[in-house]
Amino acid sequence: MQNNNKLFNKNLSKICLGTEIYSRKHNKINFKEIETIFLKSRDFGINFIDCAECYGDHLSEAIIGDIICQNRNSWIIASKFGHYNNSNIVENKFDLNSVQKQLEKSLTSLKIDCIDIYYFHSGNDNDFFNDELWNYLNLQVKLGKIKYLGLSLKHDLVKKNYLDQAKKASKYNIKFVQTVYNYLNTDSDKFLFDICNNNNIEIITRMPLAKGILSGNYKNNQDFLPDDYRLTFKKANDLYFKRIKNELSHIPQDKLASWSLNWVLENKNVKSSVMAFRNTNQLENIINNANWK
């Protein structure tokens, strides 16, 4: 498999900072706390950031831009396109005119001239197979506004083994594929990883803690706050909690998050995994107990 580390002047860290949680109003994480998480992450050797256009209508990008503006070259930055967050209702916006506006707003929000990895964000095949769109994006690569193109796969497609986007990704010069992968969700490992390997595409995974189910902080749905979005998936959560009890009870609760992250990173196909940290205590606990370098 091609070593995409050569695509960057620095190696991608095995852990990528996820930033979606910083755009959710109910999390109430202030800027100073987020800045401290970023600075400590950099001290640990993390140099990779993941954000998106719809995380608070470019809010996470703006936060990142304010934090990294003095040391842009220390970071590899990935963002995404294809959605618009309208009062917390996410709308698909994959038409060329919308994507052009999204790219410019992302660059402005991040306060940078070039996005290192720019992902097509969880769209359907009708959105993806658009030569006009990809011709435009490849032109932006030539113009220096984007370094590399990526594909963040819609997980429903992966679960159903509808992988035409990944199979045709090389046609559009896509170098990175991002997908859900954790101990409780291994669909990507069944078919997608082989497709990426066969096409010299690097794999970035997300949700190593399965939206917190593998964090060790929860034992059942009753542990979530009443307005927690994860309660939308009660039936699936029940199955996951049952598996954790039956299969992972030998792992101490305070070590489950690190164990889960290690489990993902031990897969030789995984270049990096997107991990979100709510506070510095969580960051230090997980990083100090993870085998990630």
pLDDT in the model for residue 64? 94
pTM for the whole structure:
0.93
Render pLDDT for 208-258 as a digit per residue (tens, 0 to 9).
999 999 999 999 999 998 988 899 999 999 999 999 999 999 999 999 999
Question: What SS3 class is residue 286?
Answer: helix
What is the band of 116 on the pLDDT scale with cuts at 50, 70, 90? Answer: very high
Rounded to the nearest 10 degrees, the angle between the axes of helix 256-265 and helix 280-288 is 60
Contact (Cβ atoms closer than 8 angstroms) between residue 136 and residue 113: no
Instruction: Please give the structure tokens belonging to residue 234.
Output: 């009660």
Percent of the chain whose predicted confidence (pLDDT) is above 90:
77
What average pLDDT does the chain have? 92
Contact (Cβ atoms closer than 8 angstroms) between residue 213 and residue 237: yes
Q: What is the mean pLDDT of residues 278-290?
A: 89
Render pLDDT for 3-35 as a digit per residue (tens, 0 to 9).
455 677 678 999 999 999 888 655 677 889 999
User: Comparing 52-56, 233-237, 289-293, which segment has the lowest mean pLDDT?
Assistant: 289-293
- Does residue 155 have a pLDDT over 50? yes
- Count of CB atoms situated within 10 Å of the CB of 110: 26
Residue with the larger pLDDT of the pair 171 and 58: 171
pLDDT in the model for residue 1? 41
Question: What SS3 class is residue 154?
Answer: coil
pLDDT in the model for residue 26? 55
pLDDT in the model for residue 24? 67
Residue with the larger pLDDT of the pair 249 and 91: 249
E strand map for 122-185: 146-152, 174-180
Classify domain 4-288 at the CATH topology level. Answer: TIM Barrel (3.20.20)
Considering Cα of 99, then 105, then 108, then 112, what sign does the dihedral take? negative
Terminal Cα-to-Cα distance of the chain (whole angstroms): 20
- Does residue 70 have a pLDDT over 90? no
CA distances in angstroms from 24 to 56, 120, 264, 269, listed in the order given? 7, 22, 26, 31
- Count of CB atoms situated within 10 Å of the CB of 167: 14
Please compute Rg for the chain using Cα positions. Answer: 18
DSSP 78: E
Q: What is the mean pLDDT of residues 267-289?
A: 92
> Smallest Cα–Cα separation from 182: which of 128, 252, 222, 236?
236
